[in-house]
Amino acid sequence: MDSLESAFGFPLPPSLKGYVSHSSSSITMFTPRALVAASAVILLFLWLGRLVLSSSRLRRRLPPGPPRLPIIGNLHQAPQVYPWRVYQEWTKQYGPVFSLQYGMNTIIMLGTYQAAHDLLNKRSHIYSSRPRAVMGGECLSRGLRTLLMPYGQQWRNHQRLQASYLNVRVSQSYRCVQDLESKQLLYEFLSPGVDFVDRYHRYSSSVIFALAYGRRLPVGDEPEIQAIDEVMKNFLYAARVGTWLVDAVPVLNYLPKFLAPWRRLGDRLHKLESTLCIDNMTKGLNSASWN
């Protein structure tokens, strides 16, 4: 009894002392750890109940979409292979504007050009920002990938930086690089049994690499191209909608790394991508041909 009172930090009432003295199992139930666990379970159920209730209310105001399950919504239906084909079928079934629920995230899908033009062009100040992408935007890209940034000052700064070397006037100076790569592309098309997709891939990679780092990729199987392909594959995997539970429940990203394998993967992929960029930049700075 004394140990029980010391565990709680205050004396027990006489009536409670009489109860616990007749039942050793009751003493176990009244430990602080058990109370904390019970409180956590109760709070979890209250939160889940509130989530289900708010989801049902929100659903009434949303465009139509595939049937959902409680809590997870459409996570079990998220396409993992050729997702555009699944979205196309849903567009035919539910219309050009339909909704999906991936955990706590509501996603509005636009299945036609007209729907995208009406909402993202005519009403861009309302609809053209980007949703939070925890895995692809934060864990992998550290919030520095323009493609996944929400509208704001940081996005505008990135846009100004890109416009400084992608505007119409400056891009005229890139014509000599494009002309050289285009001539090689046409020559390669004349080869018997040529793989057109592979040659287009070499052409675009070489143009971008020459402009960014001052080096051409004339063959198409250079380590740099293989590294670019690896980076793109990793990014598409990390940014794919419906793949990561943390994208549906962003609060999970606050878990420590030993409980969050996606954070460890994001760190590894970010290091791989950063190392590639720094190495290429260093080689470019040491090259006399870097523009």
Q: How far apart are CA 226 and CA 239, in angstroms?
A: 20
DSSP string of 84-114? HHHHHHHHHHH-SEEEEEETTEEEEEE-SHH
248 half-sphere exposure, CB direction, 13 A CA radius: 18
The answer to whether the beta carbons of residues 103 and 72 sit under 8 Å apart is: yes
SS3 (DSSP) at 73: strand
Lowest mean pLDDT among 48-52, 96-100, 257-261: 48-52
Task: Give the tens place of pLDDT for each residue, 57-105.
Answer: 555 678 999 998 887 888 888 888 888 899 999 999 999 999 998 877 7
- DSSP annotation of 69 reads B
Predicted local distance difference test score (pLDDT) of residue 26: 45
Range 205-209 average pLDDT: 93
Structure tokens at 35: 């109370």
Range 227-236 average pLDDT: 92
Backbone phi, psi, residue 100, to 5°: -130, 150
Predicted local distance difference test score (pLDDT) of residue 127: 78
Predicted local distance difference test score (pLDDT) of residue 253: 92
Give the start-to-end residue ranges of the domains of the chain. 2-30, 65-128, 159-285
CB atoms within 10 A of CB 229: 12
pTM above 0.75, yes or no: no
Range 275-285 average pLDDT: 90
Q: Over 80: is that where the pLDDT of 18 sits?
A: no
Q: Over 50: is that where the pLDDT of 166 sits?
A: yes
Structure tokens at 76: 């079990």
Lowest mean pLDDT among 53-57, 63-67, 182-186: 53-57
Judge residue 49's burial from the number of C-beta atoms within 10 Å of its C-beta, 0-12 exposed, 13-18 middle, 19 or more buried: exposed
**Checking DSSP bridges between strand 97-102 and strand 105-110, what pairing results, if any?**
antiparallel
- DSSP annotation of 148 reads G
Give the model's confidence band at 27: pLDDT under 50 very low, under 70 low, under 90 confident, else very high: very low
Q: How far apart are CA 196 and CA 182, in angstroms?
A: 13
Predicted local distance difference test score (pLDDT) of residue 219: 92
- Give the contacts of 284 (CB within 8 A, at least 6 positions apart): 212, 213, 214, 215, 290
Give the model's confidence band at 121: pLDDT under 50 very low, under 70 low, under 90 confident, else very high: confident
Structure tokens at 171: 């891009």
Range 222-235 average pLDDT: 92
The answer to whether the beta carbons of residues 133 and 239 sit under 8 Å apart is: yes
Give the model's confidence band at 24: pLDDT under 50 very low, under 70 low, under 90 confident, else very high: very low
Range 153-177 average pLDDT: 90
Q: Over 50: is that where the pLDDT of 25 sits?
A: no
Handedness of CA 255, 261, 264, 269 (dihedral sign): negative
